[in-house]
Amino acid sequence: MITPILIYKALKKHQPNLEQLQVKQLIGSLYLDVRTKEIQSFFYVFEFLIFRLLYVVLTTALINYPGLQVNIFMFLNNLNIIYLGLVEPFDTKSQQTLELTNFFLLNTVGYCVLLLANLMTSPEHEYKVCWSVIALVGLIFLINFAVVLTEIIKKLITVFKTWRHKRSMAKLHE
């Protein structure tokens, strides 16, 4: 619980200088793709860590109450969706859309898992719901993988164009 607070304090202390290269090299991974000028957006890093910590603590503390675990999980996801929708903490619209899509799909997984929390009596229905969960998790994985792969390809194209431009400029100066 102390780690998110320490990270938030470190980011808050360096907030005026977060765009400087020295600060980015030191703690830049803590606020990657997050708008650093507005305090509401800046709070996303702290909120992200607190919610993930709550997921872990509640999952272990409520081990005998799976229905309650899932309901709290979906409640926290809904709070994240509301926060992301109101604050829009990310630099790009695509990152914002990706996060909202992830939380929406995770909520859908939560609804499917809720059905498995002692609410279903038919093994056939449980089997179908489990396949739905697997399909949804697979969809989340594929969407995120496609986004990462697209970003890598864009970066490689940029690097290649820069290299080709430098090479053509070097030939002109020969």
Count of structural domains, the chain: 1
The CA distance from 107 to 129, in Å, is 14
Quick one: tokens of 150?
């697209």
Q: Mind listing the pLDDT tens digit for each residue in 98-154?
A: 889 999 999 999 888 888 776 667 888 888 888 999 999 999 999 999 999 998 999
Q: Mind listing the pLDDT tens digit for each residue in 41-54?
A: 667 777 777 888 88
Are the CB atoms for 15 and 36 separated by under 8 Å?
yes
**Best-predicted range by mean pLDDT (60-69, 80-89, 118-127, 142-151):** 142-151
Predicted TM-score (pTM) of the model is 0.71
% of residues, the chain, pLDDT over 70: 75
R_g of the chain, CA atoms, integer Å: 21
Confidence tier at 31 by pLDDT (50, 70, 90): low
% of residues, the chain, pLDDT over 90: 24
- Does the pLDDT at position 19 exceed 80? no
At residue 4, the pLDDT reads 66
The CA distance from 102 to 111, in Å, is 14
Q: Which domain holds residue 123?
A: 2-172
